[in-house]
Amino acid sequence: MQNDLWNYCLNLYARPGVEQACLSLQAQGLDVCLLLCAAWLQERGVACSEARLEHLKVCAGPWQREVVQPLRQLRIRWRDAAAQDDSLSALRMQVKALELEAERTLLQRLEAATQGWSSTRSGDNCDWLNKMASSASHPDCDALHRLRAAINRA
């Protein structure tokens, strides 16, 4: 198990099926960084509560809206045109790198927000992943199942 959230996410994302599951959940409006953080917390046995879930969402929300999403939208908007324009393609790759760095920064912020959170001492533990995914009206259960299966293969 990776200690820090960033390396945990890199390891998990590289597993078969995880990228597609995350992209599907992201397309539904879910914050993949929050989902991966939830998986990390669950694997570490950190006690879950509504207050902690809300704290993470409040931490992630502005950064996602103001930094990550605008970079992602620009990268996606340039996809077709960049296929025909080498200069734009190079700029698009730089935007993609900035988007990844913005996600890394968000994961570092989420990790910092969880410092000092206690582990579960009883059987009273919520399912971090399901609780985090419940913010979507109808989360893609298949994608969520694939993500959970990859987490359990650790």
Regions of the chain where pLDDT drops below 70: 1-3, 120-125, 135-139, 154
The single-letter DSSP state of residue 117 is P
CA–CA dist 154, 62 (Å, integer): 31
Q: Which residues of 134-149 are buried (b: 16+ CB within 10 A; e: fewer)?
A: eeeeebbeebbebbbe
Which distant-in-sequence residues (6+ apart) come within 8 Å of 127 by Cβ? 42, 48
The pLDDT tens digits for 114-152 are 999 977 655 555 789 988 988 666 667 888 888 888 888
CA–CA dist 39, 148 (Å, integer): 8
Q: What is the pTM for the complete model shown?
A: 0.89
The single-letter DSSP state of residue 150 is H
pLDDT at 1: 42
Between the CA of residue 40 and those of 71, 93, 152, what are the distances in Å?
A: 25, 28, 11
